[in-house]
Structure 1
C-alpha cells in the first residue's frame, strides 16, 4: 500500500482506545453490580434492641443461624378457659425493605384469623444481626427458622406466606417441606426476569440473586393462591400471570385498584384471604 494511503499509527491507537474504553467501563460496571447487589436489592431498617412491641399476644423470638441471630415476631392466639385454640401457623416472609415492625401492620386481621403468625426478619433487618451474603444463605436461614417453629404445630394447618421479595423464598421453601397452603402476594417470575426487563444490558450471569420462582412453582404439590394488584407498577401483574401459566393449578386473585405497597388496605384482599384461611 502506498505510504500516502496508510492509516497513521496515532489514528490506529485512537481506534483501539475508543474500543477498549467502553469495554473497560462496562466490565467495571458489571464488577460494581456484582459486589453491590445486596445494597441494590435489600433496604433494611435497623431497630434498637430495646424496641418494644406492644401488640397483645405477640412475643419476640430468636432463630440462631450460622454467624447471626435472627429476630422474629410470634403471634399466638389467646388461651380460652386455659386452653390453647389455634388453627395452625402462618409462616410469613416479608419484602425487601423495612423490618417486622413495618410489616406487622394487619395485626387485627391476623388476631381475628384464628391462626398463629410467625414473621421473620432477615439478616441485617430490624434486630437481626449479620449481613445477607448470597441467595443460598437466605434460603438456609428460612429453612432453619421453619424447622424451629414447625414442630410446635404438628397436626395443625401449615400456611407458608410470602410477600413481594418473600414470595420467592416462600416458593422455594414449599418445594422442600409440607404445607397445607402457599400464599404469594405480589409475586415475581424471578428476580432475573425483573432485572432483564429493567436493565437488558446486564447479563444474567452477573446476578447473584436470580430467585427463580417460575422454576420452583411447578415442583409444589400443595395448593397455591396468588394475590396481585392490577395497578402494581413495581412488580406488574404479568409476573403472576406468567407464574400461573407455569403452574396451572395455581389460583390468581386479581385485586382491582391495588398497587404494590397498599394491597393489604383493600377489603377485596383481606376478605378473600380470610375466606381462604377459613376454608382450610
Structure 2
C-alpha cells in the first residue's frame, strides 16, 4: 500500500473515531468566547443575566427591555456557531417594536460555563425559559419562542415538553427560522456531503440520540401556534427541512417562504413585519 494511501486511511479512521467518541457533537456545536458586539453599541438598554442550572453550570444571557409600551416577550435561542454577541442583530429590531427579548448562550458559548452536549444545551434552553417566566413575565404579556437553526431544533423539543406538561405559564407562539427536521437527519446529510466521512454516514448518525427529532415532537406543540420560516436559498439547512417540519406540525401553523441566506431572514423589513403580524394574531387568540 502506497504511503499516501496509508495516510489517507489513517486520517479517515481518526476522523471517524473522533466523531464516534464525541457522539457527533462537533457537527452541532461551534462555540467561541469572542465578544463581537454588545447591545449598547446598538443603542439598546440591556442587563447581564446569569442562571445556575440544575447541574451547576452558569448560563449567561442578555435581557433587552422593550422600548415604550411593552407588547410581549421574545425568548431567543440562537444557532450553533459563536455566541449571543454575533447573533444579536437577529433580534435587535424587536425592542423598538415593543417586544422585550431574552437571549442566552448555551453551556460552552460566550460567558457560559461547561462544554456543550445535546442533553446539556436542551437543559440550558429550559433553564432560560423558566428564568424568563419567573422573573420577567408580568401581567398578561404574551411570550413567544423564536429559534434559529440549532436554536429552532432545541425550541421544538422545549415547546413540545412545555405544552405536554401543561406548564402554568404557557407559550403563546413558536417561531422557527431555518431549522432542521431532526438532529440525526441533518447529521447524516452533513456526513454524506464530506468525502472523508461519507462512508461512515450511517453508523456515525446512529450515535445521535433520536429522542429529539423535530418531526417527532413538533405536533405536540399544538394548540400553540407555530410559524416555520425557511429560505429557498438556504445553503446550510436545505429548504426541504422546513417543509418536513411544516407537514409534521398540527394546526394552527403558518409557513413563511423566504429568499435570503441562512439566518439572514430579519435583514428584510417585510419578513420582520410578517413575524410581527403572526405574533399579534397569536396573542389575539387568547384574548
Shorter-chain TM-score range: 0.7 to 0.9
Q: CA deviation at 1:208?
A: 5.0
Work out whether residues 192 and 210 of structure 1, in 8 Å CA contact, stay in contact via their aligned partners in 2: no
- How many correspondences in the alignment? 250
* Cross-structure match for 2:176: 184
- What SS does structure 2 have at the residue aligned with 1:182? strand
TM-score (norm 1): 0.80
* Cross-structure match for 1:169: 154
Q: CA deviation at 1:207?
A: 2.3
**1:181-240 CA-partner distances (Å, limit 9, x unpaired):** 000000111121112223353223222587411111011120000111110011111111
**1:239-265 CA-partner distances (Å, limit 9, x unpaired):** 11111111242311001x312032221
How many Å separate the matches in 2 of 1:238 and 1:76?
35
Q: Choose which of 83, 94, 102 in structure 1 pairs with 2:86.
A: 102
Unpaired segments of 5 or more residues in structure 1?
Answer: 1-21
Q: CA deviation at 1:57?
A: 2.0
**1:155-194 CA-partner distances (Å, limit 9, x unpaired):** 3201011000001111111112221100000011112111
Q: Choose which of 245, 264, 267 in structure 2 pairs with 1:265.
A: 267
How many Å separate the matches in 2 of 1:139 and 1:29?
26
* Cross-structure match for 1:72: 61
* Cross-structure match for 1:253: 256
How many Å separate the matches in 1 of 2:182 and 2:148?
14
* Cross-structure match for 1:35: 21
| 2:145 equivalent to 1:157 | no
How many Å separate the matches in 1 of 2:212 and 2:182?
5
CA gap of 1:108–1:219, structure 2 versus 1, over 3 A, is closer
CA gap of 1:62–1:168, structure 2 versus 1, over 3 A, is same
Unpaired segments of 5 or more residues in structure 2?
Answer: 1-8, 163-169, 193-199
**1:57-99 CA-partner distances (Å, limit 9, x unpaired):** 2111111122321110101124x6xxxx322211100000111
RMSD: 2.5
Work out whether residues 113 and 277 of structure 1, in 8 Å CA contact, stay in contact via their aligned partners in 2: no
Q: Choose which of 139, 143, 146 in structure 1 pairs with 2:126.
A: 143
Give matches, 1:49-64, under 5 Å.
Answer: 53-54=39-40, 55-64=43-52
* Cross-structure match for 1:278: 280
How many Å separate the matches in 2 of 1:197 and 1:77?
40
How many Å separate the matches in 2 of 1:29 and 1:106?
34
- What SS does structure 1 have at the residue aligned with 2:179? coil
* Cross-structure match for 2:6: none
Work out whether residues 190 and 210 of structure 1, in 8 Å CA contact, stay in contact via their aligned partners in 2: no
